[in-house]
């Protein structure tokens, strides 16, 4: 065999080995069943192996910090912009230059420095019990501080990141002073001390503990899919607040490339894959979350909750105002 033939064979074998070795290490704050099917499809379509580690977002962020430069993490997937901002501030992410991502994702749903990107929208509206509350009685989130709602509201505790971001959004839009006044009145209207998750607030409303629950819509969508929770889900309706002004509060699930990613190129490919129309559609149908990409069809379940106007807040500010939001909630006695 001639030298040039041996060289060609060696190059082909090297390329094949590299192709087989292509992989991406994902630290996911999303439960495995809510992300793995998409990752499996990505591997099938690209040949890139995905090594998935799941856990609570804050724990994964702490893990990345302790691992430092030796971290195997390529991509951090997390729920809520507050956590993504935390990872960014701690120097755990790096900027990504991708026209695919910037073209697909609206500017207010991604970091201005391109260190994290929103992958789904998560809406947090009012859910009410028909027969106890008429939709025409509802209007804005601010109105829930009115004494007429005393003893009628169920919501999670103040240590919940979704509520912290909701309050941070209020600070951004109406100012800290008005947000504090709102929080003071809102807390006085709680039907019970905050406890449990979003599903628990919906169940409490269905059980007659309260008339109104604050919860993310994907929890309600999941309850419709769960035989044990379906009756509770059917007992409430969704009301979209602030439709005459700024729109309903939304947040995101999103991801960022780790600062010391050993497989940066593969991580970016996965990020770009997650904003493809078929990926966005899968999220909408499977997880009941709203696409960040325009013109992607919603699932029937999301359609049943109705169309709505959403806030256009630059979500990075919610992370920046997280500490201030917690202070407001603490002052109001929001446990």
Taking only the tens place, the pLDDT of each residue in 179-192 is 999 999 999 999 99
Q: Is 185 in the same domain as 37?
A: no
In the predicted structure, residue 8 carries a pLDDT above the cut 50: no
Residue range of the domain that includes 20: 3-122+252-298
- Does 27 belong to an annotated binding site? no
Task: Name the residue with higher pLDDT: 198 or 10.
Answer: 198
Domain contains 91: yes
The beta strands (E) that lie in the chain are given as 23-28, 49-54, 75-79, 117-123, 126-128, 153-154, 212-214, 237-239, 250-257, 290-291
**How far apart, in Å, are the Cα atoms of 9 and each of 6, 13, 17, 19, 22?**
5, 6, 12, 15, 20
Q: Is 89 in the same domain as 128?
A: no
The model's pTM is: 0.88
Domain contains 305: no
| Cα 38 from Cα 131, distance rounded (Å) | 41
Domain contains 308: no
Q: Is 152 in the same domain as 110?
A: no
Q: Is 242 in the same domain as 292?
A: no
Q: Is 52 in the same domain as 142?
A: no
Q: Is 128 in the same domain as 153?
A: yes
Q: Is 245 in the same domain as 257?
A: no
Question: How is 127-174 classified by DSSP, letter by letter?
Answer: EE-BTTB-GGG---SGGGGSGGGTT-EE---TT-HHHHHHHHHHHHHH
**Domain CATH code at residue 201:** 3.40.190.10
- Evaluate whether 23 touches 49 at the Cβ level (below 8 Å): yes
Total H helices, total E strands in the chain: 15, 10
Domain contains 304: no
In the predicted structure, residue 196 carries a pLDDT above the cut 90: yes
**How far apart, in Å, are the Cα atoms of 334 and each of 82, 194, 317?**
19, 8, 22
- Does 218 belong to an annotated binding site? yes
Domain contains 310: no
In the predicted structure, residue 225 carries a pLDDT above the cut 60: yes
In the predicted structure, residue 4 carries a pLDDT above the cut 80: no
Per-residue confidence (pLDDT) for residue 79, from 0 to 100: 86
Helix/strand/coil for 310: strand
| Residue-averaged pLDDT of the chain | 92
Domain contains 8: yes
Taking only the tens place, the pLDDT of each residue in 249-302 is 999 999 999 999 999 999 999 999 999 999 999 988 888 999 999 889 898 999
Q: Is 84 in the same domain as 153?
A: no
Give the residue among 324, 270, 220 at the shortest CA–CA distance from 50. 270
53 forms beta bridges with 27
Pick the range with the lowest mean pLDDT from 202-206, 242-246, 285-289: 285-289
Q: Is 213 in the same domain as 89?
A: no
In the predicted structure, residue 64 carries a pLDDT above the cut 90: yes
Domain contains 13: yes
Q: Is 200 in the same domain as 328?
A: yes
Q: Which two tokens stand for residue 285?
A: 């149908």
| Cα 161 from Cα 232, distance rounded (Å) | 24
**How far apart, in Å, are the Cα atoms of 195 and each of 35, 57, 126, 200?**
27, 20, 18, 8
Based on the structure, what is the number of domains in the chain?
2
Domain contains 146: yes
299 Cβ contact partners less than 8 Å away, ≥ 6 residues apart: 221, 284, 285, 288
In the predicted structure, residue 139 carries a pLDDT above the cut 80: yes
pLDDT-derived band at 3 (thresholds 50, 70, 90) equals very low
Q: Is 168 in the same domain as 241?
A: yes
| Pairing status of strand 23-28 against strand 250-257 | unpaired
Count of CB atoms situated within 10 Å of the CB of 237: 15
Q: Is 71 in the same domain as 137?
A: no
In the predicted structure, residue 5 carries a pLDDT above the cut 50: no
Per-residue confidence (pLDDT) for residue 1, from 0 to 100: 53
């Amino acid at each position: 065999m001639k030298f040039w033939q041996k060289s060609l064979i060696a190059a082909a074998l090297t390329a094949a080995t590299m192709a087989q070795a292509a992989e991406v290490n994902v630290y996911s704050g999303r439960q495995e069943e809510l992300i793995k099917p998409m990752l499996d499809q990505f591997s099938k379509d690209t040949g890139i192996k995905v090594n998935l580690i799941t856990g609570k977002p804050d724990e994964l962020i702490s893990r990345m910090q302790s691992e430092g430069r030796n971290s195997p993490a390529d991509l951090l997937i997390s729920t809520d912009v507050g956590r993504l901002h935390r990872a960014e501030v701690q120097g755990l992410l790096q900027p990504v230059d991708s026209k695919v991502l910037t073209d697909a994702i609206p500017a207010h749903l991604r970091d201005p420095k391109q260190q994290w990107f929103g992958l789904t929208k998560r809406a947090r509206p009012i859910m009410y019990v028909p027969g106890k509350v008429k939709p025409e009685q509802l209007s804005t989130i601010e109105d829930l501080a009115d004494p007429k709602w005393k003893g009628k509201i169920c919501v999670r505790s103040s240590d919940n990141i979704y509520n912290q971001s909701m309050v941070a959004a209020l600070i951004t839009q109406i100012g800290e002073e008005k947000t504090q006044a709102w929080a003071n009145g809102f807390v006085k209207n709680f039907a019970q001390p905050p406890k449990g998750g979003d599903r628990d607030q919906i169940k409490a409303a269905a059980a007659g503990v309260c008339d109104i629950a604050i919860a993310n819509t994907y929890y309600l969508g999941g309850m419709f899919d769960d035989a044990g929770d379906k009756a509770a889900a059917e007992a409430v309706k969704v009301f979209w607040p602030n439709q005459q002004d700024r729109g309903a509060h939304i947040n995101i699930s999103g991801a960022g490339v780790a600062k010391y990613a050993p497989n940066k190129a593969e991580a970016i490919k996965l990020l770009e894959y997650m904003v493809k129309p078929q990926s966005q559609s899968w999220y909408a149908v499977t997880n009941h979350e709203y696409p960040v990409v325009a013109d992607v069809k919603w699932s029937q379940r999301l359609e049943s909750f109705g169309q709505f106007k959403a806030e256009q807040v630059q979500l990075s500010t919610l992370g920046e105002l997280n500490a201030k939001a917690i202070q407001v909630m603490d002052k109001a006695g929001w446990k």
